[in-house]
Structure 1
Amino acid sequence: MRYTSAIGVTTAITAGLTACGGPASNGDGAQESGGGASGTIEAGLSYPLSTGFDPMITSGATPYAANMHIFEGLVDLDPATLVARPALATGMPKKINATTYRATLREGATFHDGSAVTADDVVFSFERVLDAKNASLMAQFVPFLDTVKAVDTSTVEFRLKYAFALFPSRISVVRIVPKKIVGADAKAFDAKPVGSGPYRFVSAVREDKIVMEKYEKYNGPHPAKAQKMVWHLMSDPSARVSALQSGRVQAIEDVPYIDMKGFTGKNKVESVQSFGLLFLMFNCKDKRFADKRVRQALHYALDTEKLIKTALLGNAEPATGYVPATHPDYSKAATVYTHDVAKAKKLLADAGVKDLSFTLMLTDTGWVKDIAPLIKESWAAAGIDAKLDIAQSPAQYAKVDKGTFDVLAAPGDPSVFGNDADLLLRWFYYGFWPEKRYGWTGSSAYKKTRSLLDRAASAADENKRKELWSQVTDLVAEEAALYPVLHRKLPTAWTTDTLTGFEPLPTTGLSFVDVGRA
């Protein structure tokens, strides 16, 4: 999710992102005047700018987090709870009938160039997502949309191809953009975004910082409570920790687990359970992994508890289903992979496999690198030889997309787009990933998975949807073509006496919506 390669988009980001004009950070959090907001919030983010900011296509964790402040949808998700709430719309979309909804725009809403947000902008924003030529990341989340039209300047009507009970919250994946600006120069917009949110974009440099400032004309429910924000892009975890402890920044994400006990007093650290997972993905077109028993054996051979205790210092939970046990749509899978070397060996023997040897690719994310030798050690105990190949995510996914890989262990977290089981399951098991990445397309299991997800999507009864999602969970767990090993906790640290209203997130990134300087 953190890199463009996650969807094959190749937006180039350069130092040219820096916008002309606009104030720079004063760097000291000094109080400034302006509409009830004061001071500068400075934060340490883990990842550089791997994509641009266009909300239709961005998959980078850092620009996506920035977009939560720059843009609005008709409906947005609360950053901490992931519960849907009205944003540009005056309320949640109104259901006219099973396949028709209407939404009314907030009166007086404007984009950061001062122009009014109109129903035409809303229609444009949805249509560009639905247009296949644009290869929008968000299109896969709204396959139920048929047409979007403006009823008048402030009312939009949605016609659905079929009934989809999660429609009111799902449209949060589409952020509303100004038709005039995007239509004139989409590439320029990608580098210098213009939204209607509480903060407006000022400048960005790929491996340095992003600067935003309060949008004075914002009239929505979540106005900026700081005059300015400076997000320092700090991939070095020790640099982030030092920046918080020295007072240079007021919050950091992705605290190294080993450093968590070092935060005391006014410096608080909290580890929040997330959907964020470490998964194993197999090249099912490779004859070594075509038999699901081989894939199952590699899961049973893993000492997941040791991975969590040693590398993550207890900050994760072993996967007992596709979503963590804390998730409202949790269903325990019929197949739960406990550490069972004897069972792993038997599965390999039953599959006729001897002396299994392959290359395990991993991304170079810090905690993933910490886990890598422990995975190799677990498999070695079961007589499995895995050579480790650790590299940056874009490089690894380039191999995956060419089909030149054996097994991949990597992090993933589509919950930043939405937290319902339909969205989370579709990300890895419907469309791009199974068809383009792990070679599941022709299997009967994939066809059944698609059918179950489609049936769940059109089911009006919540209990029926959950029953169908449970069947999908059982199926993907048994198949193990791509399946989680663990769901990790996300540690965030902040200085309690400098921020008001701050909460750590269950997703990658930081949110300062409704957060001010103390």
Structure 2
Amino acid sequence: MRDDVIPDGPAPRRRSFLTGAGALGAGALLAGCSAGPESTNDTGGGGGGKDRTLTAVIGYGNDGSWDPTQTASAFAMAANNHIYEGLLDTDPITRLPYPALGTEVPKDPGATTWRFTLRPGATFHDGKPVTADDVVFVFDRILDPGTQTLAKGFFAGWLDSVVKTGPRGVELRLRFPFPDGLSRLTLAKIMPRHVYAKPGAWDDAIKGLAVGSGPYRQTAHHPKSNTTFDAFAGYNGPRKPAFRRMNWLTIVDAAPRVAKISGTGAGAQIADNIPYANIARLEQGGLKVAGGAGMNNLFLMFNTRHKPFDDIRVRQALHYAIDTEKMVRVALKGHGKPASSFLDEGNPGYRRARTVYDHDPEKAKALLKAAGVTGLEVDLLAVNVSWIADCLPTIKSSWDAIGVRTTLSPQETTAVFTKMDQNRDYQVVAAASNPNQFGLDADLIMHYNHGPGNLWMRYTRWADAPVAKRLFQDMDRATREPDPARKKAMIQDYIDVVAEQAVLYPVVHNELMTAWDARELSGIRAQPYPGVNLLTAKWI
């Protein structure tokens, strides 16, 4: 991610991520439609006391896709959680599902049919009622085999169809029991059919059109500047809006982002993506700074059709060469851990991988020698996310130390992944990813990154390799496994393959920091993934 982009589907168009996504969050069409000049930081109105505008600073771009079925943009996903609702939504920290547009969580998660009744009186921001037709409309798009969406990868494997049972009733028919699917329903934001079925409306959604039924409605969208929101007076759901107005600023560069929340004349009350070097100063200035540890990671991605990176020994050598302890100590100021699995250590599905890339330069040299590689020169294409940039010198010095002459080429995230979309040649990419913005379950995380039809595998040019085909089969078998313990073991086993192959693999997992003025705001919880969630926050 410029801190916010990841790949999500086979079509060569960008829908924003990260990833952190990410990385990655997925690439997004960058054409923007602005409700005003990009330099505008309009707050949507004044007001004092409880009516004053809440200003948030988001360290990711707001110019990626806003289509909930497509986006992995950190900014857009965080905003959409305030604008839209799913049948169920999830707590931003525990990720446990709760009723949103649906009136209750199905009592039997292991059933192959889930029935939902829509909340009485639920309306979209344009005043039209939410109906079963809107629900079916969204799921039909997600499940349509002819439409490529990011959401398809989260649903198509286990959800067969969604049918209308009445004006406010729908039935979800599953291919097999899949209890994890309940938490994934928050990823299917219900959108008004009368708005998005119009010609060109999905392109408008990519550019920023957002009409939902959630507690806040979008009032203005200025790509590369800010997006504003008002409390939706017609909202009758479980998480009432506490702020009359919100103004979310996009400030990708670290220094101005920190400055915006600092000092007595601070222009914002909360900011995410806080650099580790600024934590102490912000705390001394009276702000609360807290972190969330999860799947946020720096990963290496290899072009397996560019020799010698088709050789597993070369990929492994470059991982073994990296002094990850130094990277955590110097670049991350202790707010991270060397990767010991694709999953972070706090994930419920975590098990230490069979192959762990502890710093071992002698082993790295031996692997290169066994592969017959000498005089290797690497141009490391990297995203210019601030914390990634801090880590790059350690990679260079580590690779230089084993005789691999390394050139660092940091660029805007969108530039990096545009090259990927255009199928241009590259050697190795270093970027950031955080699939936790979609959920915690390991099946989702692994399919997001290693699904056979997704952009990641297209970028690596690896999906047709025999070992990859076997991996995809093992992944699908694990998805269908009904026994939770057996399923966990199967996922852990195929993660061992992913670790050994090192085609797309984390180097370090790190902590994401959020800062806020606790003298003004309560109910804030730092997330282990990009963005903020203000649905339980309020003025003091």
Band the TM-score falls in, shorter-chain normalisation: over 0.9
Contact 2:163 2:172 in 1 (8 A): yes
Contact 1:145 1:161 in 2 (8 A): yes
Aligned to 2:490: 468
Q: Following superposition of structure 1 onto structure 2, how do residues 479-498 of structure 1 map, counting pairs within 5 Å?
A: 479-498=501-520
User: Partners in 1 of 2:369 and 2:498 — Cα distance?
Assistant: 22
User: Partners in 2 of 1:217 and 1:26 — Cα distance?
Assistant: 19
Contact 1:427 1:433 in 2 (8 A): no
CA change 1:434–1:269 in 2 (3 A) is closer
**C-alpha displacement at 1:357, in angstroms?**
1.6
User: Partners in 1 of 2:483 and 2:521 — Cα distance?
Assistant: 42
1:409 equivalent in alignment to 2:427:
no
User: Partners in 1 of 2:538 and 2:53 — Cα distance?
Assistant: 9
Aligned to 2:389: 369
User: Partners in 2 of 1:393 and 1:25 — Cα distance?
Assistant: 28
CA change 1:12–1:334 in 2 (3 A) is closer
Gaps of 5+ in 2: 15-27
1:443 equivalent in alignment to 2:456:
no
Aligned to 2:419: 399
Contact 1:476 1:483 in 2 (8 A): yes
Aligned to 2:449: 428
Q: 1:103 aligns with which of 91, 104, 116?
A: 116
Contact 1:4 1:394 in 2 (8 A): no
Q: Following superposition of structure 1 onto structure 2, how do residues 269-288 of structure 1 map, counting pairs within 5 Å?
A: 269-288=289-308
Aligned to 1:138: 151
Q: 1:81 aligns with which of 87, 94, 112?
A: 94
Aligned to 1:340: 360
CA change 1:236–1:289 in 2 (3 A) is closer
**C-alpha displacement at 1:500, in angstroms?**
1.6
* Residue range with higher mean Cα deviation, 4-13 or 250-259: 4-13
Aligned to 2:275: 256
**C-alpha displacement at 1:75, in angstroms?**
1.3
Aligned to 1:125: 138
CA change 1:12–1:322 in 2 (3 A) is closer
* Residue range with higher mean Cα deviation, 297-306 or 433-442: 433-442
Q: Following superposition of structure 1 onto structure 2, how do residues 187-202 of structure 1 map, counting pairs within 5 Å?
A: 187-190=203-206, 191-202=208-219
Aligned to 2:253: 236
Residue 260 of structure 1 aligns with an amino acid whose one-letter code is: I
What secondary structure sits across from 1:16 in the alignment?
coil
Contact 1:176 1:195 in 2 (8 A): yes
Contact 1:41 1:229 in 2 (8 A): yes
CA RMSD in angstroms, aligned pairs only: 2.0
Aligned to 2:23: none
Residue 101 of structure 2 aligns with an amino acid whose one-letter code is: L
Gaps of 5+ in 1: 33-37
What secondary structure sits across from 1:457 in the alignment?
helix
What secondary structure sits across from 2:387 in the alignment?
helix
Aligned to 1:380: 400
Contact 1:355 1:383 in 2 (8 A): yes
CA change 1:5–1:445 in 2 (3 A) is closer
Contact 1:151 1:157 in 2 (8 A): yes
Q: 1:504 aligns with which of 526, 529, 536?
A: 526
* Residue range with higher mean Cα deviation, 480-489 or 39-48: 39-48
* Residue range with higher mean Cα deviation, 80-89 or 272-281: 80-89
Contact 1:499 1:517 in 2 (8 A): yes
**C-alpha displacement at 1:164, in angstroms?**
2.4
What secondary structure sits across from 2:78 in the alignment?
helix
**C-alpha displacement at 1:305, in angstroms?**
0.8
Q: 1:25 aligns with which of 21, 40, 43?
A: 43
1:114 equivalent in alignment to 2:133:
no
Contact 1:363 1:392 in 2 (8 A): yes
Q: Following superposition of structure 1 onto structure 2, how do residues 220-231 of structure 1 map, counting pairs within 5 Å?
A: 220-231=237-248
* Residue range with higher mean Cα deviation, 487-496 or 383-392: 383-392
Contact 2:7 2:456 in 1 (8 A): no
Aligned to 2:54: 41
Residue 470 of structure 1 aligns with an amino acid whose one-letter code is: Q
Aligned to 1:152: 166
CA change 1:189–1:284 in 2 (3 A) is closer
Residue 190 of structure 2 aligns with an amino acid whose one-letter code is: I
* Residue range with higher mean Cα deviation, 156-165 or 360-369: 156-165
Contact 1:94 1:102 in 2 (8 A): no
User: Partners in 2 of 1:60 and 1:383 — Cα distance?
Assistant: 38
What secondary structure sits across from 1:490 in the alignment?
strand
Aligned to 1:184: 198
Contact 1:77 1:418 in 2 (8 A): no
Identity %: 36
Contact 1:39 1:517 in 2 (8 A): no
User: Partners in 1 of 2:173 and 2:389 — Cα distance?
Assistant: 47
Aligned to 2:320: 300
* Residue range with higher mean Cα deviation, 94-103 or 421-430: 94-103
* Residue range with higher mean Cα deviation, 338-347 or 383-392: 383-392
**C-alpha displacement at 1:128, in angstroms?**
1.2
Aligned to 1:91: 104
Aligned to 1:389: 409
* Residue range with higher mean Cα deviation, 110-119 or 48-57: 48-57
Q: 1:247 aligns with which of 252, 258, 266?
A: 266
**C-alpha displacement at 1:407, in angstroms?**
0.6
User: Partners in 1 of 2:146 and 2:412 — Cα distance?
Assistant: 28
Contact 1:181 1:189 in 2 (8 A): no
What secondary structure sits across from 2:469 in the alignment?
helix
Aligned to 1:72: 85
What secondary structure sits across from 1:373 in the alignment?
helix
* Deviations 1:154-203 (CA, angstroms, capped at 9, x unpaired): 22111223332322222221100001111125134443311010001100
User: Partners in 1 of 2:29 and 2:317 — Cα distance?
Assistant: 39
Q: TM-score, normalised by structure 2?
A: 0.90
What secondary structure sits across from 1:151 in the alignment?
strand
User: Partners in 2 of 1:486 and 1:84 — Cα distance?
Assistant: 29
User: Partners in 2 of 1:362 and 1:435 — Cα distance?
Assistant: 18
Residue 531 of structure 2 aligns with an amino acid whose one-letter code is: G
* Residue range with higher mean Cα deviation, 100-109 or 467-476: 100-109
* Deviations 1:269-300 (CA, angstroms, capped at 9, x unpaired): 11221211111111111220111111111110
Residue 291 of structure 2 aligns with an amino acid whose one-letter code is: S
What secondary structure sits across from 1:184 in the alignment?
coil
Aligned to 2:474: 452
CA change 1:56–1:18 in 2 (3 A) is farther
What secondary structure sits across from 1:134 in the alignment?
coil
Residue 109 of structure 1 aligns with an amino acid whose one-letter code is: A
